[in-house]
Structure 1
Amino acid sequence: MELRHLRYFLAVAEEANFTRAAARLGIGQPPLSQQIQALERELGTPLFRRTHAGAELTEAGEAFLVEVRRVLADVERAADTARRIARGEAGRLRLGFTASAAFNPRVPRLIRDFRRQWPQVQLVLEETNTAGLLEALRNGRLDAAFIRYTPSALPAGLDLMRFPDEPMLIAVPAAHPLAQRERAPLRALAGEPFILFPRSFGSSLYDEILSVCRESGFSLQITQEAPQMSSIVNLVAAELGVSVVPASTAQMQLPGVRYLPIEGRVPLARLALATHPATRANTPVVRHLWELAHATPQVP
């Protein structure tokens, strides 16, 4: 039994006449009658009673009609779903991000705009560190990810759309002497207890901060580690130390924390949207995200 047989049956059932059904289908009446007879033989029961006026459904034909309409509707829905997925209007997008990247206004705005343009796409989000995101991109577990990167060590085998570099700020407790200043050089943090995430959680930011501090003539005294920027800021508010954070983190206006612009050499937080070239080539929803990110204005 083929779909065309079901469509032939439906046309005859709705027209109640073989001649009109044949004209509707664009085939001859004799071949249509032969196809219906073959269908009846396959089912082992008559579907129509031939009359002078045309054709009437038997009881079995009436029951078969209900199911045929359901099957053909399911087939049409399946075909429509396939077409929408092929156009990137449906399907699933698996998107990763680092905890610090989520503070960058480009990230939530891009996710928001994507959902508005393609609401039928299921968005699956995953938060982890850059190393985990890169591994997930390479093994196909993620389609795209917002990652931190180092210009001198770009991840091999992936395409990066780099966003504007983000300056970093000093974060100090509100009661700290530096909190009274409008800005301060990094070397003002020499000897201060410093709060930072483990290097394994974000090597690019970690290395950038330590490198610029060394250029400023001192080494950090990391006395406390925290896994996320939000945790670091809360620990600064608890007066456990000072830190350096991406400027976008300053939207966390916690009581007891003051953010200061940095004088002199400023460490930079670098953010990019990363995809595997093959994934973008073969997955329309990923191409939509890439093109949308490319069209997003540079100014937050």
Structure 2
Amino acid sequence: MELRYLRYFVAVAHERHFTKAAKSLGISQPPLSQQIKRLEEEVGTPLFRRLTRGVELTEAGEAFYEDACKILAMSDAALEKARGIARGLIGSLSIGITSSDAFHPHIFALIRQFQLQNPAVTVHQVEANMATLMTRLGEGELDLAFVRLPCESSKAFELKILDREPMVVALHRTHPLAGQPSLTLAQLNTTPVILFPQDVAPGLYDRVYGCCERAGIDMQHTLQSSQLSSSLSMVAAGGGFALVPQSMAAISPPDVTYHALTTPELYTDIALCWRRFERSRTVKRFLAMQA
């Protein structure tokens, strides 16, 4: 049974008149009458009683009308859904974020902007370390990921740098240098450095490690945190000093002070990362906000 038969039938049932229904459909009345007759033959029973001034539904027609309306509504919804997905207006988007990215205001401003512009798209946020994010992105479990560079595995993907963020020194408030607004790494060579695990962010780890080593800091007796963010808890406990992205200064433990790092220059780039040859229109709509 063709959907157009159902549309013709519903129009006649609504107007209770062939001529009026034909006008609303934009066709002439004789072809409409023929189509309704063919529909009734296919169903095997009259759906309308022909009256002097119009038509009325038979008992079978009343039942058929209810189901026809449901079928047409489902058909229209399916079409709109498919078209919406094709345009990236409907669907879902999985975005990966590192724990340190969670403090950068630009990232969540972008996600919020996308949600406001695309209310029918469900956005899922996944927080994990960079190594895990890159693996899940490559396996298709994530559509996009915000990462910190350098990150070796990011070379397998397309990426756009969103911001260059300086690293700052986090010290316990009782440290002798806590009163100085800016520091060099050489000034900290007698204070243990707290490092995050290398497998969390290998590229950034190597950059931080190399800078500390060149500044004469004892790298044989480093302290290790589980994440960049947890290094601040260790600083608050008096464990040593940590180098963290500037945006993480939004975390304000009462015993931690933050200081600009003057020498050497140490920074990390925040980048948006996605698979090469991405076909998802939803992903492309998100990326278009960065154009």
Q: TM-score scaled by structure 2? A: 0.91
Higher alpha-carbon deviation: 27-36 or 249-258: 27-36
Unmatched runs of 5 consecutive residues or more in structure 2:
none
Residues 271 and 125 (structure 1), Cα distance of their counterparts in 2 relative to 1, 3 Å cut:
same
Q: Do 1:194 and 1:221's aligned partners in 2 also have CA atoms closer than 8 Å?
A: no
Large movers: runs of 4+ above 3 Å: 26-31, 221-224
- Aligned counterpart for 1:285 among listed residues 282, 285, 289: 282
| Structure 1: distance between partners of 2:198 and 2:177 | 26
Query: What residue in structure 1 maps to residue 162 of structure 2?
Result: 163
Match of 1:209, as an amino acid? V
**Higher mean C-alpha deviation, range 183-192 or range 270-279:** 183-192
Q: Alpha-carbon deviation of 1:226?
A: 2.2
Q: Percent identity?
A: 42
- The aligned counterpart of 2:257 is 258
Q: TM (normalized to structure 1)?
A: 0.89
Where does residue 72 of structure 1 map in the other structure?
72
Distance (Å, rounded) in 2 between the aligned partners of 1:22 and 1:248: 65
Q: Point out the more displaced range, 230-239 or 35-44.
A: 35-44
Where does residue 214 of structure 1 map in the other structure?
A: 213
Distance 2:40 2:218 in 1: 87
* Cα displacement (A) at 1:235: 1.5
Report Cα offsets for 1:5-44 as digits up to 9, x if no partner: 1001112112222333334334444433332233223323
**Deviation of residue 234 (structure 1)?**
1.4
Note the C-alpha offset of 1:256. 0.4
Corresponding residue of 1:198 = 197
Counterpart residue number, 2:146: 146
Give secondary structure in 1 for the equivalent of 2:177: helix
User: 5+ unaligned residues in a row in structure 1: which ranges?
Assistant: 295-300
- Name the CA distance, whole Å, in 1 between partners of 2:204 and 2:101: 11
Aligned residues: 291
**1:292 counterpart letter in structure 2:** M
| Pair 173,186 (structure 1): closer, same or farther in 2 beyond 3 Å | same
* Cα distance in 1, alignment partners of residues 165 and 155 from structure 2: 23
SS at match of 2:238: coil
User: How far apart, in 2, do the equivalents of 1:217 and 1:235 lie?
Assistant: 22
2:26 and 2:256 map into 1 onto residues whose CA distance is 77
Distance 1:182 1:32 in 2: 83
Q: For residue 251 of structure 1, report the CA deviation from its aligned partner.
A: 1.1
Q: Give the C-alpha shift of residue 245 in structure 1.
A: 0.8
The superposition leaves residues 118-145 of structure 1 with CA deviations (integer Å, 9 ceiling, x where unpaired) of 2221101111121222222222211111
The residue identity in structure 1 corresponding to 2:238 is E
**CA separation in 2, counterparts of 1:266 and 1:207?**
15
**Aligned-partner Cα distance in 2 for 1:43–1:219:** 87
**How large is the RMSD of aligned CA atoms in angstroms?**
2.1
Q: What amino acid is aligned across from residue 190 of structure 1 in structure 2? A: N
1:180 corresponds to which residue? 179
Query: 1:163 is paired with a residue of what secondary structure?
Result: strand
Q: Does the 8 A contact of 2:98 with 2:147 survive in 1?
A: yes
